[in-house]
Structure 1
Amino acid sequence: MNNTMLAAIAESAQAPLALRQVARPIPGKGQVLVKVHAAGVNPLDTKIAAGAAAHARQALPAILGLDLAGTVVAVGEAVTGFAPGDEVFGMAGGIGGAQGAMAEYIAVDARLIAAKPQALTQREAAALPLAFITAWEGLVDRANVRAGQRVLVHGGAGGVGQVAVQLAKARGAEVFATGSADSLDFIRSLGATAIDYRAQSVDSYLEQYTAGEGFDIVYDTVGGQTLDASFQAVKTYTGHVLSCLGWGEHRLAPLSFKSATYSGVFTLLPLLTGKGREHHGAILREAAALADAGQLRIRVDQQRYALQDVNEAFRQVAQGQGKTVIELLS
């Protein structure tokens, strides 16, 4: 193994990413070196590249990419549970000054990764970590989703939304999800009742599906006005609204008058602060178990991208074109 690798680097804001030969990382204490087979491209990656994601604390130039799947090739000091040859996946870099996954190799904190699900390809596994962790931290950690509850997921065909639907179903809830007309069949294929948010008002689907009482849990994966609609859609007293995009300014009165609760989800915190990283690894082990049990799948964009196609992949994601993955096949 030589001491350099190919990487896609965001050299300055709004400039095309450049392919460069850079030094291959060496795993430090608590880290493993992973040969990257696939790197997920998330909307956050495109925002960092555009210079529009200060909360990610990733100064440019930088190698981007939060999500990865690959094979362990070396293990640093004080690492247990992983060995060379292990197939792994995780959300392990690309923010907070850390190298991202859009490179041939990455040194990652072993606490942030888990064994890849056998039921998923490397490409599928690389599309999963950020979405699944975000769904789990909301539905399980904050809201304790369970059987007997009615759950509404806003944006049920999106990256987080499609996983949230499946997670809520796997834990026994009755699931409903909003989407545009062209996404409704996919939402139904996940086992949820699909709601066309353009064709039906909140009051209308509340009456149709909850007799006007509201949903036990509402997960907003869209933000903006959709969070306000979530306050409207939640059940009085016991209802719980979640949002992974609750960054705007909103009137809390509609929620307060229902005596309902709200939780924000900021999935990046363990990567930025170093606290709670073990929990991310544990969540990914839950994802692998669900996938291997046939209860979790991820729809990936049919278009295939190599590292050399990184700028086209970024354009697709910036336009909202599904879960996109870059494959490093060498």
Structure 2
Amino acid sequence: MRAAYINEPGPVENIAVGELPDPKPGPGQVLVRVTYAAVNPIDTYVRSGAVAMELPSPYVVGCDLAGVVEEAGAGVDDLPPGTRVWGSNQGLLGRQGTFSELVAVDRHWLYQIPNGVSDEQAAATALVGITAALGLFEEAKLQPGERLVVHGGGGAVGSTVIQMAVAHGAKVLAVTGGPEKCAACEALGAEVTVDYLHEDANHVAASIAAWAAEGVNVWWETSRTPQLELAIGALARRGRMIVMAGRDARPELPIGPFYAKCCRLLGFVMFLCEPEVQVRAAAKVNELLAAGKLQTPVAKVASLDETAALHDLQHNSTVLGKQPLRGKLLVKF
């Protein structure tokens, strides 16, 4: 099979595209013929060595996939050949990745693609969809009618959070950068948008306070450098703040207003959540995809040979803050 892989962590130039032996499904595994694979920031961190993990050698890059079941291993009887599936959590914690024509995946990381949903959308939504569902429903326990601020609503995770929260009956304010992203967040269902690029922090805080006079129930932070003073100041009594990025961040926590309002700070890493929890999150993703209430923008669809270029684009956007992406980066097989 053809695959994009590395022999050791390092720069994008370490990514090679070539032939590797076809994997065989072991007990409890499923062999999937990949149709689409998606790039995520974590892929670039693992490939570069910024996030150290045990890696097989050679190591196939990539976390997300959509495809068709080729063969089921012993003990798997509910995904016959020909079944369309999607999944995430590959290429992590010693597992091979998804940027290959074939991949052997543990059954519990795969979910059937609903009728009417494209493989492209399933792959694009995989990691961001599961992340949004975990944070909103498993961690924050978001309730219909509650007020949610998405700080970074124009990004891949933020835009997914907006759609899921709106579909759940919550009210959403999105903080994002630039009029184009503000318009996109409004189109996804945000009641109010605030442009942080053209307003100072005081204006952002005042806009949130005007929208939520009694405070915000949930604050979803996507930034790698969270503004805790702004967030904690905006939270209502018993407000919850979600953090899922910024592993090197060391911001100061304003303890006074945080404890006085009985707030909670909830951090989580998607790929460390148990499979049974992720099954619930994937079910929510499927429900919304099938109902047409969740759509993930795609910025570029490329060939496997362009994997290194896609990693470079993702790095420039996520880490360097240059060339902001307007959607997910995919490889089509």
Question: Which residue number corresponds to residue 68 of structure 1?
Answer: 65
Q: How far apart in 2 are the matches of 1:49 and 1:73?
A: 27
Task: Report how many aligned residue pairs link the two structures.
Answer: 315
Say which of 258, 265, 269 aligns to 2:268.
265
Question: Which residue number corresponds to residue 151 of structure 2?
Answer: 154
Alpha-carbon offset, residue 327 of structure 1: 0.8
Deviations 1:183-242 (A, max 9, x none): 11111110102211231534212222112x32100011113133443223211x220001
Question: Which residue number corresponds to residue 4 of structure 2?
Answer: 8
The 3 A distance-change label for structure 1 pair 316 and 306 is same
Contact in 2 for aligned 1:72/1:84 (Cα 8 Å):
yes
The 3 A distance-change label for structure 1 pair 58 and 7 is same
**Aligned pair 1:230/2:235, yes or no?**
no
Alpha-carbon offset, residue 8 of structure 1: 0.4
Q: Secondary structure at the match of 2:100?
A: coil
Contact in 2 for aligned 1:227/1:246 (Cα 8 Å):
no
The 3 A distance-change label for structure 1 pair 58 and 228 is farther
Amino acid corresponding to residue 218 of structure 2 in structure 1: I
Question: Which residue number corresponds to residue 327 of structure 1?
Answer: 332
Alpha-carbon offset, residue 81 of structure 1: 2.0
CA RMSD in angstroms comes to 1.7
Q: Which deviates the most, 19-28 or 202-211?
A: 202-211
Q: How far apart in 2 are the matches of 1:125 and 1:267?
A: 17
Question: Which residue number corresponds to residue 273 of structure 1?
Answer: none
Q: Which deviates the most, 120-129 or 94-103?
A: 120-129
Q: Secondary structure at the match of 1:7?
A: strand
Q: Which deviates the most, 255-264 or 290-299?
A: 255-264
Question: Which residue number corresponds to residue 91 of structure 1?
Answer: 88
**Aligned pair 1:208/2:210, yes or no?**
yes
Normalising by the residue count of structure 1, what TM-score does the alignment of the two structures yield? Answer: 0.90
Question: Which residue number corresponds to residue 49 of structure 2?
Answer: 51
Q: How far apart in 1 are the matches of 2:193 and 2:110?
A: 33
Deviations 1:119-163 (A, max 9, x none): 332122111111111111111001111212001111112111111
Q: Which sections of structure 2, spanning at least 5 residues, go unmatched?
A: 318-324
Identity of aligned residues (%): 31
Q: How far apart in 1 are the matches of 2:126 and 2:25?
A: 21
The 3 A distance-change label for structure 1 pair 73 and 188 is same
Q: Which deviates the most, 123-132 or 7-16?
A: 7-16
Q: Which deviates the most, 43-52 or 112-121?
A: 112-121
Say which of 154, 163, 166 aligns to 1:169.
166
Moved over 4 A (4+): none
**Aligned pair 1:256/2:259, yes or no?**
yes
Q: How far apart in 1 are the matches of 2:45 and 2:207?
A: 34
Query: 1:131-146 to 2 correspondence within 5 Å?
Result: 131-146=128-143
